[in-house]
Amino acid sequence: MTELHVFKVGEPFAAGKTRWPEGPRLSITPSGAHLTLFFDRPDTAEVKAVRRAPARFAWIRGEQGAVLAFNFIDTKSGAGVPWSDAPYHHALQPDGRRDLPGDPGTGMFCTIMLIDASTGIIKAIRGVSWPAAAADAVRDTFAAQLETGYHEQAFNTFVDRLYARYPDTGKLVSDRADVTWTNVDTRPGAGPMAVPPL
């Protein structure tokens, strides 16, 4: 039986830890995708956008790695989280959590958490369902990465070259995305959310 962790808005992401390095982290496990955003003192617009604004995603696949791009922009105010990205390789998953998530042709659940990197406090929790086409693109990447294996230098070179060519994530999405999608369905987290370990 899979152990569940209960996360609550307003409580620490991890007991006893109050500071985290800034930046997004992507984890994809048999239970689905987990996008954790560590922002230093996120403002009200960012918190509201992560909780409720349309969530736009793009998957960019390369031979030695992949990137998930995302943004959360309020359609009325235009405020929120602009295009950002999280590099990914399946081999960087924790041991025992590297099985393919779900069956081909099915969607995938994605848990999103916004953490104040300066305090470790959870500011927003949200769940969205990725469509089958997006989930299959991720699964196809998994399968390819399992065949080629992980080479740290090759992965770092892939990421460095991608950022050198596309310092703007929006341009990366428009030029290189293998699949893009928008989620407007949301399960905002004002209360607890139980998810498998990240």
Q: What is the pLDDT of residue 191?
A: 37
The total number of structural domains in the chain stands at 1
Whether residue 4 lies inside any domain: the answer is no
Query: Would you put residue 82 in left (φ > 0), alpha (ψ -120 to 50) or beta?
Result: beta
Interatomic CA distance for residues 88 and 61, integer angstroms: 9
Whether residue 137 lies inside any domain: the answer is yes
Q: What is the pLDDT of residue 96?
A: 64
CB burial of 82-114 (b: ≥16 within 10 Å; e: otherwise) equals ebbbbbbbbebbeeeebeebbeeeebbbbbbbb
Q: What is the pLDDT of residue 198?
A: 41
Whether residue 196 lies inside any domain: the answer is no
Whether residue 174 lies inside any domain: the answer is yes
Whether residue 21 lies inside any domain: the answer is yes
Residue-by-residue pLDDT tens, the chain, 198 positions: 455 678 899 999 999 999 999 999 999 988 889 999 999 999 999 999 999 999 999 999 988 999 999 999 999 999 999 999 999 998 887 766 667 778 999 999 999 999 999 999 999 999 999 999 999 999 999 888 888 889 999 999 999 999 999 999 999 999 999 999 998 665 554 333 433 334
Whether residue 193 lies inside any domain: the answer is no
CB 153 within 8 A of CB 65: no
Whether residue 198 lies inside any domain: the answer is no
Print the domain residue range for 72: 9-186
CB 181 within 8 A of CB 134: yes
Q: What is the pLDDT of residue 98?
A: 65
> Pairing state of beta strands 66-73 and 80-88?
antiparallel
Whether residue 2 lies inside any domain: the answer is no
The whole model's pTM is what?
0.89
Q: What is the pLDDT of residue 63?
A: 84
Q: How many CA atoms lie within 13 A of 68 on its CB side?
A: 29
